[in-house]
Amino acid sequence: MSLFASEQILPGAFVCQYTGEIIRSSTYRRREMELNGVTNYYGMAINNNEVIDARAFGGIARFANHSCQPNCVVERWDVNGEICCGFFAKTLIENNEEITIDYGGGNTTATRRKKCMCKKAGCRGLIPM
């Protein structure tokens, strides 16, 4: 699955919010193990202790794919004590262009990695997970 722009999006513009169930990181890791072999993970770390799990329910942001040269950046902000995550355009995104983020957020020290399929110039080859 993928996420595509339905209109032109200007750099810096809000694209969408990442929504789902907020759970402890340990609960998310347990769920991942229970789904051994399932390749579609929909978790976004909020901090070291919590993850937004969008597997069971969530918005369109969960369908954004990884790219080593993403056109969106993930920003976290506090709204009345609740941490929210949103995608903001890094570059001009044209109508029908795929919306992408860096799953690893530039993390180069992660011990879990997955082969990257983005095929972009400068691809790191692996996605930190």
Structural domain of residue 39, as residue ranges? 14-128
Per the structure block, which two tokens stand in for 55?
A: 């597997």
Q: Which has more pLDDT, 104 or 126? A: 126
Averaged pLDDT for residues 18-37: 79
Q: How many domains are there within the chain? A: 1
Averaged pLDDT for residues 73-83: 86
Q: Which of 93, 42, 100, 95 lies closest to 69, judged by CA?
A: 100
Residue 2 lies in a domain: no
For residue 45, the domain's CATH number is: 2.170.270.10
